[in-house]
Amino acid sequence: MRVLTLADLQTSIQDTAAFRSLADYLSIGRAFLSFVQRTRPTLIVSPCQQNYIFYQYDEGSGYRITRPLNADLLITSADDLADTFARFVTFLGDLRRRQQAVIDQQGAREYIESRQINPVVYTVQQAIGSIADSLDSPNQARKRAGQLFENLIKLIIQEAGLKCEGRTIKIPVPGYPGYTMSYELDLVFSRNHTIVAAETELIRPSEVVGSVKTTSKDRIDKVFLDKYLLRKLLGRDVPVIAVFLHDVQRARRGDSIFGVSSTFKSGHFLGYTVALNRLDGVYYVDPRPEMTQNARLREHIYDFQQFLVRDLWTLSAI
For residue range 75-100, list pLDDT tens digits in order.
Answer: 999 999 999 999 999 999 999 998 88
What is the mean pLDDT of the segment spanning 23-29?
97
Say what the pLDDT of residue 200 is: 52
Closest CA to 309 of 123, 19, 88, 144: 88
Model confidence at 199: pLDDT above 80: no
For residue range 114-138, list pLDDT tens digits in order.
Answer: 999 999 999 999 999 999 999 988 8
What is the mean pLDDT of the segment spanning 170-178?
88
pTM greater than 0.85? yes
What is the mean pLDDT of the segment spanning 279-303?
95
